[in-house]
Every structure is written in C-alpha cells, then in structure tokens.
Amino acid sequence: MVQPVTKGSYRTARFTENRWTSAIIPALLIHIPIGTVYCWSVFKQLIADRLNASPASVEWGFSLAIFFLGMSAAFAGPMVEKNIKKSALVSMVCFVVGFAGTGVSIALGFLPGVFICYGAIMGIGLGVGYLTPVKNLMLWFSDNKGLATGIAVAGFGLAKAIASPLMEYLIGTVGLVNMFFILAVIYAVMMFFGFLLIKRPADWVYDPATSHVSRAEILRKPVFWGIWIAFYINITCGLALISQEKDILHDVLKAFPQYAGLSPAKFAAAIAGIIGLVLAVDSVFNTAGRVGFSTLSDHLKRRETVYQVIFIMSIAVCLLQIFTNSINNALLWAVLAMLFLINAGYGGGFSTLPVLLDQHFGTKTVSTTHGLALSAWALAGLSGNQLASFVVTHTPDQAHRYAALIPVLTGLFALALISISLVKYLGGRNGEGKRSIGA
C-alpha cells in the first residue's frame, strides 16, 4: 500500500534535499570553527608568559597544527570519499578535544601538552574538517563549483575576523584557560550541527571501483607536481609576508611625522588601532579572494588562468614596492596595496585548488587528490615563517631588513607562475578538461 505524502514529510524532504542546508551551511559550520587556527597570534604570547617559555618555542604549536592539518588531509581523502558523515564526526571530535586540551595543558603549565593538543590532535581535526565539505559542495553545485567552494572556504578565512575579538573579550573577562573551554563548547555545538546536516545528493552513490584511485598513480603525474609547487609557493610567500606585516607596518608608521618623538610605549598605543584595522581589512581581502577568484574560475576556459592572474598580480605589487622602495620611504598606500592583494591571492589559491584538481583528475577522486595537494600546506606552514625570519635576520643592512624580503618573494612568485603555466600548457596539449583519472 502506498503511503500518503503528508505536509510534514514533504517539508522534511525538501529541507534535507536543499543544497544550502545539505552543503553550504554545514560547510560553514565546520570551517568557521577550524578557521580559528589563524587566531593563534591573539594568545601565543599569553601562553608563553603563563608557561614561562620563549615565544619561539611556543610558536611550534601553530607550526605543528598546520603541519598536521596538511598531512592528515593527505591521508584522509579516501575516508572523505567513502563516508562524509564519519569524516565530519572525526573532525569535530579531534578539533574540540584538541582545543579544550590546549586549555587543560595551559592550566597544568605543560608546554608539550600544547604541542600535542593544539598541534597534533587539533591539527588532525583541521585537516579532516577542511577536506570534508569540499567534494560535497562540488556535487551539489556542479554548475558553479568554484563559487560553492569559494563561499565555504571563505568561512575558514573569515573565522579570524569573527573569533579574534571574541577571544580578546573572553580572555579579558574569564581568562585565557576558560576562553579555551567556552569556545570548545561553542565549536562543538556548531560542528555537531554541521555533522547532522551535511549529506551527499540523493543521486550520488559511492562506487569503490570508480572512486578509488592510487595515490602512487597521482604522484607519478607531472601535472600534479606542477599544481603542488605553485600552491606551495603561494602559501609560503603569503605566510612569509603575513608573519612580518605587523613589523613592516610598525617601521612604516614610525617614519610618519606625527609619531616622531613618541616614547616606544606611546607609539605602540598610538598605532595599535591602525594595525588592528589593517589586519581586519587583510581578513576581508583574504575572504574576498577566496570567493572572487574561485568564482572567476567558473567563467574561464581553464582554471589555471586564475592562478596566473594571482601570481602576476602578486609580482606586480612586489615590483611596485621594489621600485618605489615603499617600506623605507614610508609609502603606506603602496605597502597596503601589497599586503591586501597578496592576502587576496593567498585566499584565492586555497579556494581555486579543488576545482583545478577537478579539471585534471575528476570529481570522483577529488577528495583524494585535494588531500594529497594539501600536503603542500603542511610543508609551507613550516617554511613560510622560517623563510621570512631567515631573510630578515641575515640581511646585512638591518635598517632595511623588511625591504630585503620582497625581492625574494618576487622571485618565488615568478617560479610559481612558470610552474602553473607549464601545467596549463601540458593540460591543453593533452586535451585535459573534465577528463581525468576516475572521471
């Protein structure tokens, strides 16, 4: 006997088959919490002070988090392909336990616990959580894959702007340790609802025969390594610049007449608001780049073109600094142009990556290929800050140490441009579009 369709069951079906409630909203509920990894600078000095440790030693907490993010994503791809609910749950448990465990470690004065909880356990939650919504979005928004992944990944970039002031408020009212506990509860609730809501389209069925691809087969393809190198360089350069932007702004503003003669304490207080505003605008450009560049890729014949635009733009703003010597000449407008546009390209590189991999390797295996490519993020997380620190520390003329970093970034962006251009050439020559492994 055929059961009648009630109004309630119709509404339930309509809700669960809606691509916004099954893909976009759960993606944001997962990505916004894990994106708070970029809020590290809010409390890293407080951790160092509380544990009587050097800032350099504490910094390994963040480096390990990014490393485990990339490496866990590299290995979690097949799990995400097979069972998106399981990967969402694993992400939630690891992230929340790691975040709360960081608070426990701080309360106990145990620095290795910070490395284990914030770096390793939370880092695994970051990697699995970052990867989980991506293919789902591409399945639900098959005609606008770039836009869909851009909106969701934007949540990761926007998290810093949302969480940083909240963290500052909680630290000031309930203390550092309780901040971790309170936010762990909030993030657990958000990610749990993301876990409940996320689902594949009704017509998608996991087929081991077509969804499985050998990692070794992917790693033997020159096109994969061309994409990997370009992605790695973009993150390395972005992190190198981002890690120094406060100090760059400090030096530029110090040359302004209105700040001349101020004591260090008064100068720091005077520019705090300006630097805070710049960092907030940085986050906006990062987020806009994630949505804008990936959306642009939907309207181009080949998605490598977006990376070419990003690298040419980044080279241009670096050359602007070199030719105007904007840091040493205190040309704030040129420095801001460099910071904002490189931040936009940094974000755009993340959101365009999955649809670029889809173009070469196909949607059926994108979780695996995307995960492998995110290993570049793991290594860049270790090399970006260290590259900037090495250049700044070893520049013979310390008065111009930050300006010395820019030619290095220019050369690296040029190398990335060559790499992605070769990928575009090889893909065009081989007739690669939506044809791929497992497609």
The chain-wide mean pLDDT, for the chain, equals 85
**Residues ≥6 apart with Cβ < 8 Å to 173:** none
What pLDDT score was predicted for residue 209? 60
What pLDDT score was predicted for residue 305? 93
- Please state, for a pLDDT cut of 90, what percent of the chain lies above it: 39
Instruction: Using the predicted structure, report yes or no on whether residue 3 has a pLDDT greater than 80.
Output: no
Instruction: Using the predicted structure, report yes or no on whether residue 434 has a pLDDT greater than 80.
Output: no
Instruction: Using the predicted structure, report yes or no on whether residue 387 has a pLDDT greater than 70.
Output: yes
Instruction: Using the predicted structure, report yes or no on whether residue 385 has a pLDDT greater than 90.
Output: no
Instruction: Using the predicted structure, report yes or no on whether residue 436 has a pLDDT greater than 60.
Output: no
In one letter, which amino acid is 182? I
Does the reported pTM lie above 0.75?
yes
pLDDT band, very low/low/confident/very high, at 5 (cuts 50, 70, 90): very low
Instruction: Using the predicted structure, report yes or no on whether residue 432 has a pLDDT greater than 60.
Output: no
pLDDT band, very low/low/confident/very high, at 183 (cuts 50, 70, 90): very high
Other Cβ atoms less than 10 A from the Cβ of 133: the count is: 31
- 82-104 pLDDT, tens per residue? 889 999 999 999 999 999 999 99
Return the SS3 of 136: helix
In one letter, which amino acid is 369? T
pLDDT band, very low/low/confident/very high, at 155 (cuts 50, 70, 90): confident
- 279-326 pLDDT, tens per residue? 778 888 988 898 899 889 888 888 899 999 999 999 999 999 999 988
pLDDT band, very low/low/confident/very high, at 2 (cuts 50, 70, 90): very low
Contact in structure between 39 and 159 (CB atoms under 8 Å)? yes
- Distance from C-alpha of 363 to C-alpha of 328, rounded to nearest angstrom: 48
Instruction: Using the predicted structure, report yes or no on whether residue 403 has a pLDDT greater than 80.
Output: yes
Backbone angles phi, psi at 155, to 5 degrees: -60, -35
Per-residue three-class SS string for 260-296: CCCCHHHHHHHHHHHHHHHHHHHHHHHHHHHHHHHHH
pLDDT band, very low/low/confident/very high, at 223 (cuts 50, 70, 90): very high
- Distance from C-alpha of 19 to C-alpha of 221, rounded to nearest angstrom: 34
Query: Sign of the CA dihedral 334, 335, 340, 345?
Result: positive
What pLDDT score was predicted for residue 175? 93
